[in-house]
Structure 1
Amino acid sequence: MRRLGRLLALPGLGLLAGGMLFFSAVMAPLVFTRLPLAIGGPFIRTAFPVLYLYCLITAGLSAFGYLLLGRGRAALVPGVTILGTLWSWFWLMPRLDAWRMAGNEAAFARGHDVSTWVFGLEFFLALLLLIREGAKKS
């Protein structure tokens, strides 16, 4: 089981952090700088469920791997990402869509800021754990 834990924990965490970085630093800016807003907005909204599913899978693999290794504290980071992703996907995103459709720009802007902070915190925690794991001596 420890071998499986080693195969899942760190690679899952690396895939999680890398995917989050790619989406936020490459994909979203590229969409909004290269496509008209009328096309980029709907396109990026269709990408969020894919991003959220990716985050759930990679965080789940990482958390499971850390639990198999008996490292519950390390499993908290991907665990927090799982909870934050589920909350964002199933609670916050429907509200953001409703606020956008209703033309409530202030509520949408606040919700978008919250979404950005949650995603950023999840990424920051994953990156910190990844750096900490990489700095360990074998």
Structure 2
Amino acid sequence: MIVSAFTLLATALLFGGMTLYSFGFAAFVFTALPADTAGPLIRKAFPHFYLFVMGVSAIAACGAAFIDPLSCALLIATVLSTVYARQILMPAINDATDAGQTKRFKTRHLVSVLITLSHIAAAAVVLIRVAGAEG
């Protein structure tokens, strides 16, 4: 019961944090600030967002390992794909922005959006599975 509650809370934090950041904070920054201010702010915030996703996913995966192998695998996949997004994809997005390569930026940014959406979906699946494991 304690492991399930811990895993459920960690995954809820992950789901809520990713959803709030993606649909709340990032959207708000770009509507509330001029583009020349919003862009650099988001660029500074994303590394911290990715660390949050990696850390909380890893913590939730530890709990899920005792409850549901599929949930654990989804959370580990989230950790690994976030490492890729933070260490490889984000610098490539920044390089394309700095070089004025709009098409490269849009393509890479789309990939990062799809990765984040897949993380949110994976967290939702884990929430449902772990909550169902209690019943």
User: With structure 2 as the length reference, what TM-score do the two structures score?
Assistant: 0.92
Inter-partner Cα distance in structure 2 for 1:25 and 1:102? 27
Inter-partner Cα distance in structure 2 for 1:18 and 1:63? 16
User: What code does the residue aligned with 1:83 have?
Assistant: L
Q: How does 1:1-138 map to 2 (within 5 A)?
A: 3=2, 5-67=3-65, 69-138=66-135
1:94-121 C-alpha deviation (Å, 9 max, x unpaired): 1111111111110010000000001101
Inter-partner Cα distance in structure 1 for 2:6 and 2:47? 23
Inter-partner Cα distance in structure 2 for 1:128 and 1:39? 36
> Which range moves more in the overlay, 121-130 or 102-111?
121-130
Instruction: Please report how far the alpha carbon of residue 80 of structure 1 lies from its aligned counterpart in structure 2 after TM superposition.
Output: 1.1
User: With structure 1 as the length reference, what TM-score do the two structures score?
Assistant: 0.90
Segments ≥4 residues shifted beyond 6 Å: none
Inter-partner Cα distance in structure 1 for 2:85 and 2:59? 20
User: What code does the residue aligned with 1:24 have?
Assistant: S
Inter-partner Cα distance in structure 1 for 2:53 and 2:134? 28
Contact 1:99-1:105 within 8 A present in 2 as well? yes
Compared CA separation, residues 73 and 128, structure 1 to 2 (3 A) = closer
* C-alpha RMSD over aligned residues: 1.6
User: What code does the residue aligned with 1:78 have?
Assistant: L
Higher relative contact order structure (alpha carbons within 8 Å, sequence separation ≥ 6) = 2
Contact 1:12-1:58 within 8 A present in 2 as well? yes
Aligned length in residues: 135
User: What code does the residue aligned with 1:110 have?
Assistant: T
Inter-partner Cα distance in structure 1 for 2:38 and 2:102? 18
Structure 2 unmatched ranges of 5 or more? none
